[in-house]
Structure formats: structure tokens, C-alpha cells
Amino acid sequence: MSDNCIFCKIVSGAVPSTKIYEDNDVIAFNDIRPSASVHFLIVPKLHIDSLASCENEHQALLGKMLLLAPKLAKQQGLAGFKTLINTGVEGGQEVFHIHVHVMGGGDKSRNN
């Protein structure tokens, strides 16, 4: 848990979200500003700033997040989807708690 991290607050339940999945390690919820008809985020419960902060010890967690993407996408009715991990300010990252975007079902105007 990192103070003032919006995704840690979602993980703890202090901030509400539209949760679509949860287990011991990860949570997935709909993006509050979707850029596609279906747009959710896969987020580890462990606070890690970004992909650039990951170490070998996070390998299994990263694999778990990626393997969840097609399963949750299918549950959300998607036949195909895009994944995105923004990394660093210059990589467009706004929330510094690592997350995988999963998007599909037709773009909205915002280009994430």
C-alpha cells in the first residue's frame, strides 16, 4: 500500500471501482475514462510504480496479469483486444501503480 496512490485505494476498497475480477494477487476494473467500448485495467494488489520498476521477483505476477487479459476480455464479450502498459511520464503513464490496459469493441475518441 502506497499512500496517495489511487489504485492502492481501489485495491483497499477506500475508492470505489467497477470491479470485474479479483483474486489474491490482482484486481481488474473498468477504466473511468474509457477509450474503447470495453476498457478495463488489470492491476496487481502489490504497489509497483511501473514496468520499469519490476524485478525478477515480479515475473510470475506480470505473467499472471497478461494471462488474465484474454480470459477477462472474453468474459467482457471481446473477440479481440488491445493491451497497453504505459511506462514513465514520457510513456504516457498517469497513475504510477503498474497496470495493463485492455481495450476492445470499438474505439472512442481518446487515444490512450
Site for ligand AMP in 18-37 (CB under 6 A): 29, 31-33
Q: Which of 45, 97, 99, 101 binds Zn ion (CB under 5 A)?
A: 97
State yes or no: residue 88 binds ligand AMP (CB under 6 A). Answer: no
Q: Nearest to residue 5, comparing CAs of 16, 19, 15?
A: 15
38 or 48: CB nearest Zn ion: 48
CB 8 to ligand AMP: min, Å: 11
Q: Enumerate the active-site residues.
A: 99
Binding at 83: pick from Zn ion, ligand AMP, none (beta carbon under 5-8 Å per type): none
Site for Zn ion in 45-64 (CB under 5 A): 47
Q: How far apart are CA 58 and CA 47, in angstroms?
A: 11
Q: How far apart are CA 93 and CA 71, in angstroms?
A: 25
State yes or no: residue 92 binds ligand AMP (CB under 6 A). Answer: yes
Task: Name the phi and psi angles at 86, rounded to 5.
Answer: -75, 135
Task: Name the phi and psi angles at 29, rounded to 5.
Answer: -150, 160
State yes or no: residue 50 binds ligand AMP (CB under 6 A). Answer: no
Q: Nearest to residue 11, comparing CAs of 25, 27, 32?
A: 27
